[in-house]
């Protein structure tokens, strides 16, 4: 008697999925990745574990959509983390100069800082600092203090959060959730 082999699910490339299968896979992957990243950062292959084989073709596409939406971010070395401080509204773009200027404003005195002081402390060109201040003010992160020409963060709570930095957070311990 011939042995019957068990039929194993086959991964389907995203381009060959019909619309219904794409939506099913998308919903499944979104839920899976969101649940996994609540526990902490994960390597991309760990995020892929536990997904049904039929959905694997959609995994890179859905992960890319989540990065583009700003819901998750790559931390380098194939590790992803959720972006906890806001809902998915726009892509997260790194700007080291703006980050440095905002962090410096968060560290400084209550009356705020002049662009010249920031440029000198950060060893950056004045025009670069002024451009970063304009961008940060446009984003609603800083405002001019009571003293004209001096800038400070809009919220003391946000400044406190920035001063604490990554203290108490674990980024290197990547857990497996499968």
The model's pLDDT over 55-73, given as tens digits with 9 standing for 90+, comes to: 988 998 899 888 888 788 8
Q: What is the pTM of this model?
A: 0.51
Domains contained in the chain, CATH given: 14-82 (1.10.10), 96-164 (1.10.10.10)
Report the run of H or E that residue 133 belongs to, with start and end: helix 126-138
What are the residues facing 74 on neighbouring strands? 80
Residues 6+ apart with CB under 8 A from 87: 71
The model's pLDDT over 73-90, given as tens digits with 9 standing for 90+, comes to: 888 778 888 886 655 455
Question: Do residues 98 and 105 make contact, with C-beta atoms less than 8 angstroms apart?
Answer: no
Position 165 pLDDT exceeds 80:
no
Left (φ > 0), alpha (ψ -120 to 50) or beta: where does 151 sit?
Answer: beta
Question: Do residues 142 and 135 make contact, with C-beta atoms less than 8 angstroms apart?
Answer: no
């Amino acid at each position: 008697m011939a042995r019957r082999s068990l039929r194993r699910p086959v991964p389907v490339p995203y381009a060959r999925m019909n619309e219904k299968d794409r939506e099913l896979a998308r919903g499944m992957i979104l839920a899976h990745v969101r649940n996994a990243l609540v526990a902490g950062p994960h390597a991309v292959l760990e995020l892929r574990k536990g997904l049904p084989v039929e959905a694997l073709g959609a995994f890179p596409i859905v992960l890319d959509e989540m990065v583009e939406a700003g819901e998750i971010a790559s931390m380098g070395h194939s590790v992803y983390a959720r972006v906890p401080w806001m809902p998915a509204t726009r892509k997260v773009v790194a700007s080291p100069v703006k980050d440095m200027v905002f962090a410096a404003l968060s560290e400084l005195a209550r009356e705020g800082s002049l662009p010249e002081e920031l440029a000198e402390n950060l060893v950056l060109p004045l025009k670069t600092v002024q451009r970063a201040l304009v961008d940060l003010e446009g984003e609603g992160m800083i405002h001019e203090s009571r003293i004209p020409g001096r800038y400070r963060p809009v919220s003391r709570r946000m400044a406190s959060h920035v001063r604490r930095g990554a203290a108490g957070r674990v980024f290197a311990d990547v857990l497996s959730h499968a």
